[in-house]
Structure 1
Amino acid sequence: MQIKNPMISFALPVLLAFSIPVYAADHLPIDHGRYVASQHACNDPKGSILFIYDGESIKSQKTTCTFKNVTGSGNFYRFDESCSYYSRWWSILPTAVNNFMTQIEVVNNREFVLKRENENLEFNEQYRWCSAE
């Protein structure tokens, strides 16, 4: 097959190159929005961990966690997670940064189990979606 217009042969690869990062940014097959620990009500997350998933990271009031090396098979995903903790909500620089090997078991697109492993810390909590961001 011969392409008559050279702009078409140039435009297609450029279009594909710019469209791939849009899909690659969504690391996990869960909906974007606010999540709360499953045992707590959405309207009363007191005492629970409330965070926002935006497709690239999870954020709470004083923490931002980013994902790297995401691999998945079926409903299970593993990745390296780097979490920056800020002592004040207005802080520019983090007071601590911790790295975890994290596994997520996706129950459905609005519910998952989060498992973090780092030295002596073992964290295992189920979360559910409450609302859009």
Structure 2
Amino acid sequence: MKAKQILLPTAVRMEMVRTFKITRSTLDRALKYTGNSARDNMLRKAALQRGGLIYLGVPAPNGYLPEVATSFEDGYMRQRFGERIEVALHLESNKAVLKIDGREAAKFDGLTVGAWGNMLYSLQQIYNKLTNTTTI
């Protein structure tokens, strides 16, 4: 997973594209912090108002073990942070889908083991924020 970005369900992304009359690539640039124009800042603010969550993309500390429930079913490894966050990795294609509150927030392809650990660390922080806990 890339560095800092705002995660949003696909339906919310499409609503923003229609509402602000922008392209998906314009919204992606704003949500991934690759631009810093007034419009990029406005789009980020609107995304956060619509329930977007900031993924920080910080490395996991040495020895970090995520507080996840892991299951294997139908060719997928699923890791869940409570009932709110789930990452499903297709074991053959190595493609992953992140869902927050049951809604797809991001897709990933070709994650390395290190990137997977860092992603879980950032997702733990998002989960803690959603549930107002401080464990890490």
TM-score by length of 1: 0.30
Task: Tell me which structure has the larger Cα radius of gyration.
Answer: 1
Question: Higher strand fraction: Structure 1 or Structure 2?
Answer: 1
Question: Higher helix fraction: Structure 1 or Structure 2?
Answer: 2
